[in-house]
Amino acid sequence: MTERKPPQMSYHSWIDQQIADAERRGLFDGLPGAGKPLNIKPGAADGDYGQAWLRDYAQREGVAAEEMLPTPLRLRREIERLAESAGEFRSESEVREAAADLNRRIVEWRRIPVGPPIHVRLVNADDLVNRWRTARAARLAEEAQAAKAAAPGAKAGARPDKAANGTRSWWRPSRWRRPR
């Protein structure tokens, strides 16, 4: 811990003195990047170095740019993603649950908005369920087509516990075996 700043000394000169003392003691020797210029590229024509540094730091650390967006823009992006991925849910109740969760977060943000007023609409669960039903029907039709194409010579009434050559399949549970 450092000693307290003397009352007669200004804050800036106190900080400068602390840095000079640390340099004399050699605390900054051997640091990675010592003596090299900072690799900062200007982010804009006006030389917005702070934003460029933040962008480079986020990229270096693997932070998604979306996490730095204001809340209403993040919510809008989630609405778009939810509409696009509606077909990936397993059931209608999951779709409705996801819509309700997103609507809850939107209402929470609307209660105490921070920043400029940006309108974020609520998600229509029925609309989302209709998208899910359409995507699910298309996916089931594709799976049926793929199943027909994969096994053109298979018998329609073939038992699942019998292999193609009539012998019992090795991976079926033992409870299906006949008693001896």
Domain coordinates of the chain in residue numbers?
A: 72-149
pLDDT of residue 64: 85
User: Residue 28: pLDDT above 70?
Assistant: yes
CB 18 within 8 A of CB 2: yes
Does residue 151 register a pLDDT over 90? Answer: no
Average pLDDT (67-90) is 89
User: Which tokens go with 7?
Assistant: 């009352």
Instruction: For Cα atoms 120, 123, 124, give the angle at the middle one, nearest 5 degrees.
Output: 140
Q: Mind giving me the DSSP string for 60-90?
A: HHT--GGGGS-HHHHHHHHHHHHHHTGGG-S
Strand partners, 168: 162
